[in-house]
Amino acid sequence: MAEIPDWLAKGAPHLWRPYTQMKTAPPPLPVARTEGARLILEDGRQLVDGLANWWTACHGHNHPHIRAAVEAQLAKAPHVMLGGLAHEPAYRLAARLAALSPGELDHVFFAESGSVAVEIAMKMALQFWINRGVRGRTRFLSFLGGYHGDTLAAMTVCDPEEGMHGLFAGVLPAQHVLPLPIDAASDAALDAFLAAHAAEVAAILVEPRVQGAGGMLFHDDEVLRRLRRLADAHDVLLIFDEIFTGFGRTGDLFACQGAGVVPDIMTLSKALTGGTLPLSAAVASRRVFEAFWSDDPTAALMHGPTYMGNPLACAAANASLDLFEDGAWRGAVARVEAGLAEGLAPCRQGAGVVDVRVKGAIGVVEMEAPVAVGELCRRFAELGAWIRPMGKVIYLTPPFVIDDEELATLTRAVRTVVLG
């Protein structure tokens, strides 16, 4: 790589990097600009972004419509606290999200990150029972292969091993983390488990259709229908964590819509602002909200992140929703899906490849053993692609607007590395 820029050399001893053993990891790639499906590095090289900036930039980077909306809001009011005050971008966004969400998911609580939205959804579920005078509903049921974030409560509902927080086993409160009901036998096992334990379970928590950071694992919509049936039968709440799957990634605006299942609470983040600013939401059903609607002040949800519903972030999200409005994204996701399926299929012949799978704009090559992430990132970059594997999984989640040539650059890079 060309010379390391001064700002990187000076800041590197001080900036603590995410998910990185900094002693041994190669230096990060310095990005100067982003545009469309590309990252433009300080040395002028352009990499096709195979990850859409951690699954956020669905419309591509630096989209002019979103940028203009943020610039206009910046000139008016960069931040307005939501305690006792109101501003148009947040209220407009809440109404739009309620209209887009299925069923009676009508009540939107904003936060700034996915993990915090998950914490809020969990807190809503716990308090839902407390407010209704039900005691003892203190635990959650989540699934092996799941990932819900890095804050402490979110960590407890991740897969104990694959969810990145295995080191903390025995340190954090234990939840029930069980196999997904993928067939009649596992459905019956979950049913029996709930028959015995529902009285202590506040909610079931699942990433619908795709368990992302836990290994890009796909499941059928029938799994979600089973979960809805089980939640109803045992009177526990059902939370769908759509932080990864929301906003078109699996081919439907929300995975729950495609599956025809309405959860009691849905969490959103990532592509909510089209990959520009931090924002998340926990969207609750009317039934959940009504448990908080009371003359008793202590029944209120005692939560309020300082920057919740930040006007710049909400303006970005409203602009991102505008871009979804004409429905063109559906064709774009279908085109990306076809390109991923065709471009990654030859990887099945690769040594050490155990599976190649595609759902919506998600393409996955699963290896039998964890890969050397730093080394592979470097090789992908040499091939013009920004791809950062996770564990055993080499995956692509590009922006939906990626063109055919750029998509071919990504799949070619994966083939070159996997097929040797």
Task: Using the CB atoms, write b or e for 220-248: b if 16+ within 10 Å.
Answer: ebebbebbbebbeebebbbbbbbbbbbbb
Q: Which helix (DSSP H) or strand (DSSP E) does residue 238 occupy?
A: strand 237-241
Distance CA 124, CA 147 (A): 19
Adjacency order of strands within the sheet including 393-396: 353-359, 362-367, 393-396
| Min dist. Cβ of residue 57 to ligand PLP (A) | 14
- Residue 395, interface with ligand PLP (CB under 6 A)? no
- Residue 113, interface with ligand PLP (CB under 6 A)? yes
- Residue 208, interface with ligand PLP (CB under 6 A)? no
Which is closer to ligand PLP, CB of 243 or CB of 301?
A: 243
**Catalytic residue flag (residue 241):** yes
List, in sequence order, the alpha helices (H) in 132-206. 152-156, 184-197
**Catalytic residue flag (residue 232):** no
- Residue 149, interface with ligand PLP (CB under 6 A)? yes
- Residue 207, interface with ligand PLP (CB under 6 A)? yes
Stretch that binds ligand PLP, among 113-121, 224-232, 287-295, 386-394 (CB under 6 A): 113-121
Q: Positive or negative, the Cα torsion across 29, 31, 34, 40?
A: negative
- Residue 241, interface with ligand PLP (CB under 6 A)? yes
**Catalytic residue flag (residue 147):** yes
Which is closer to ligand PLP, CB of 140 or CB of 234?
A: 140
- Residue 213, interface with ligand PLP (CB under 6 A)? yes
- Residue 244, interface with ligand PLP (CB under 6 A)? yes
Which bin fits 360, alpha (ψ -120 to 50), beta or left (φ > 0)? left
- Residue 115, interface with ligand PLP (CB under 6 A)? yes
- Residue 212, interface with ligand PLP (CB under 6 A)? yes
Catalytic hit among 10, 19, 76, 232: 19
269-288 footprint of ligand PLP as x/- string (CB under 6 A): x-------------------
- 8 Å CB contact between 112 and 269: no
The alpha-carbon radius of gyration of the chain (Å, integer) is 21
Cβ neighbours of 295 (radius 10 Å): 5
Which is closer to ligand PLP, CB of 148 or CB of 234?
A: 148
Which is closer to ligand PLP, CB of 131 or CB of 211?
A: 211
Residue type, 46: Q
Residues 6+ apart with CB under 8 A from 133: none
Residues 6+ apart with CB under 8 A from 306: 81
Catalytic hit among 49, 187, 252, 270: 270
- Residue closest to ligand PLP, measured at CB: 114
Cβ neighbours of 99 (radius 10 Å): 9
Catalytic hit among 147, 150, 159, 395: 147
Q: Which residues bind ligand PLP (CB under 6 A)?
A: 113-115, 118, 147-149, 207, 212-213, 241, 243-244, 269
